[in-house]
Amino acid sequence: MPISQLASEIHSITGAAIDVEPFPLPRDLFDSFAAVGWARPEFYLNRDIRHGISSFSQIHPDELEDGLLHLQEDLETGKWDRKYGELRHRDRYDVGYCFVKSMFPFQALPGLKD
């Protein structure tokens, strides 16, 4: 679902104002999720990092092995850097992650003191 459609749907259900903020990923990010290696593809060759990324568990083992061999070869021959190397020099990269915030007016819950 496109993010604009999601924001519209949240607004129609809650009536709250919706704010969508892009989250360009920093190069030095160490949380393990699919886009962690955007500037450091070598991360994907590390089994411990892959185990922290749930999408890798959805790939057939033979296909994963084949993809990792291609990545390793592309890194060793410099092919990856020739094609994508400019990513290594960026501080941030927008891979599509964003924060969707609903702006509810503050209302104290019954029984709570302000």
pLDDT digit string, tens, across residues 27-84 = 988 777 889 899 999 999 999 999 999 999 999 999 999 999 999 999 999 999 999 9
- What pLDDT, on a 0 to 100 scale, did the predictor assign at position 31? 79
How far, in whole angstroms, is CA 55 from its chain's centroid?
11
How far apart CA 91 and CA 52 sit, in angstroms, is 23
- What pLDDT, on a 0 to 100 scale, did the predictor assign at position 106? 55
- What pLDDT, on a 0 to 100 scale, did the predictor assign at position 107? 56
pTM of the shown model: 0.73
Sequence letter at residue 3: I
- What pLDDT, on a 0 to 100 scale, did the predictor assign at position 114? 53
- What pLDDT, on a 0 to 100 scale, did the predictor assign at position 99? 92
Choose the most confident range, by mean pLDDT, from 33-42, 85-94, 99-108.
85-94
Q: What residues contact 32, with CB distance under 8 A and at least 6 apart?
A: 49, 52, 53
